[in-house]
Amino acid sequence: MATLKDIAKELGVSVATVSYALTGRGSVSPAMRDKVLATVERLGYQPNRKAQAMRTGITRCIGLIIPDLTNPFFPQLAQKIEFEARAVGLSVFVVDCQNQAVHEEEGLNLMEQQQVDGVIWCPTGNRSTQRLARLRCPVVLVDRPLPGFDAVHSDYRAGGQLLAQHAIELGHRTVGLLSGPQETESARLRRAGFVEAAAGRLDIQWEEEVPFSSELSPAARQALAASKASLVVAANDLIAVGALDELRSLGKRVPEDVSLMGFDDIPWSALITPSLTTIRQPIAALAHEALSLLTAKMLDRNRPVSTRVVGVSLVERNSAIALNHG
């Protein structure tokens, strides 16, 4: 691997000159700059990132801490973020927490050791923000906002409202709610939006809080079994898939006997039967905003904390149909 020293020796100049020629910082004659550039090309020189990092304190690496790659929402997000990051010359370390706080802790330690320039984090659950503060690099929370921190997330409340409005339009009156973990802002706002827009027009007959997973709690299964509601609204698509499975094994047809709605528009949603009526989160936009917020913060660490909210849209498919009032 060629170094600055090799190039300098080749041209009979000092490494400083070569460095100046490449960074364009000092004053170097055009002739010399050309010679340096040519030699760089010829020797296939690539700057040693570690050495640069050591000197400048900038690693050009960021961390991406994700709750669970098994939830199809996150691979999509990770893909877009990695793409955007690479486009601006940032490499990304990925840590998958498998939804466990221990791994999250490990991940944060790792980011500290690697001295990343920034971290994009989707916190699992409501963690103490102390650990976050120990990380002395900029952090942007995605999808899981926490008060007092930079964050990018979808307009969950609007999503909830869209679902309620759609339900009303379809003529539904009675609904069961499979709400997500209420300690997360994300699940709380989805629920809040729905409940607000439903007020006085939809009767929420039952509600069960379940984790963001297709494995339903026993209580949720019982609720589904006993349900007389014409519509079940799940806090995300994964839960909706679980509900679909459960309803089917209870002998209830979706959507003929009961309609179903999800949230996220994960890739499966279009493929399962019936395809899922859901709220689409603009994942590419989330990724883009997250990265632009992070880079902004990297450039100006005193930037005031801000939150970017991206819009969502209703995706009508086959799992929710109009109710025939007989």
Partner DNA sequence: TAACTTGACTTAAACGATTAAGCGCTTTAT
Partner DNA sequence: ATAAAGCGCTTAATCGTTTAAGTCAAGTTA
Q: Which whole-number Å values give the CA distances from 252 to 83, 228, 230, 260, in the listed order?
A: 43, 11, 11, 12
3-state secondary structure of 197: helix
Q: What is the largest CA-CA distance in the chain?
A: 93
Please pick, from the candidates 4, 64, 65, 224, the single residue that binds DNA as defined by CB under 7 A. 4
| Spatial distance between the Cα atoms of 292 and 303, rounded to a whole number of angstroms | 13
Q: What is the DSSP string of 76-116?
A: HHHHHHHHHHHHTT-EEEEEE-TT-HHHHHHHHHHHHHHT-
How many angstroms separate the first and last alpha carbons of the chain?
A: 78
| 28 lies in the site for DNA, by CB under 7 A | yes
Instruction: Give one word for 252, left, alpha or beta, with left for phi > 0 and alpha for psi -120 to 50.
Output: beta
Distance of alpha carbon 224 from alpha carbon 8, whole angstroms: 74
Q: Is 31 in the site for DNA (CB under 7 A)?
A: yes
5 binds, among DNA, its own copies, none (CB under 5 to 8 A by kind): DNA
Residue type, 158: A
Residue with smaller CB distance to its own copies, 3 or 307: 3
Beta carbon nearer to its own copies, 83 or 149: 83
Give yes or no for residue 270 binding DNA (CB under 7 A).
Answer: no
User: For residue 68, what are its two tokens?
Assistant: 């669970």
Among DNA, its own copies, none, residue 19 binds (CB under 5-8 Å by kind): DNA
- Pick the stretch among 25-33, 248-256, 292-300, 305-313 that binds DNA (CB under 7 A): 25-33
- Told to check if 17 binds DNA by CB under 7 A, we report yes
Q: Which partner in DNA, its own copies, none is near 273 (CB below 5 to 8 A by kind)?
A: its own copies
Comparing CB distances to its own copies, the nearer of 26 and 47 is: 47
The residue behind tokens 């929710």 is: 320
Handedness of CA 196, 197, 203, 205 (dihedral sign): negative
Residues making contact with its own copies (CB under 8 A) = 46-51, 53-54, 59, 61, 64, 68-70, 72, 74-76, 78-79, 82-83, 86, 91-96, 98, 103, 106, 110, 112-115, 214, 241, 245, 248, 267-268, 271-273
Q: How far is the CB of 1 from DNA (least distance, A)?
A: 6
3-state secondary structure of 203: strand
* Choice from 10, 13, 60, 72 touching DNA (CB under 7 A): 13
Pattern of binders to DNA over 51-90, x per CB under 7 A? Answer: xx-xxx----------------------------------
Measured from the CB of residue 252, what is the shortest distance to its own copies in angstroms? Answer: 14
Contact (CB, 8 A) for 58 and 28: no
Q: How far is the CB of 296 from DNA (least distance, A)?
A: 21
In the complex, minimum distance from the CB of residue 40 to DNA, in angstroms, rounded to a whole number: 10
- The window from 42-50, 122-130, 158-166, 197-205 that contacts DNA (CB under 7 A) reads 42-50
Helix or strand or coil: residue 315?
strand
Taking the CA atoms of residue 306, residue 74, residue 288 and residue 116 in that order, the dihedral angle to the nearest 10 degrees is: 70
CB 232 within 8 A of CB 208: no
Pick 161 or 278: Cβ nearer its own copies: 278
**Contact set with DNA (CB under 7 A):** 1, 3-5, 12-17, 19-20, 22-23, 25-29, 31-32, 45-48, 51-52, 54-56
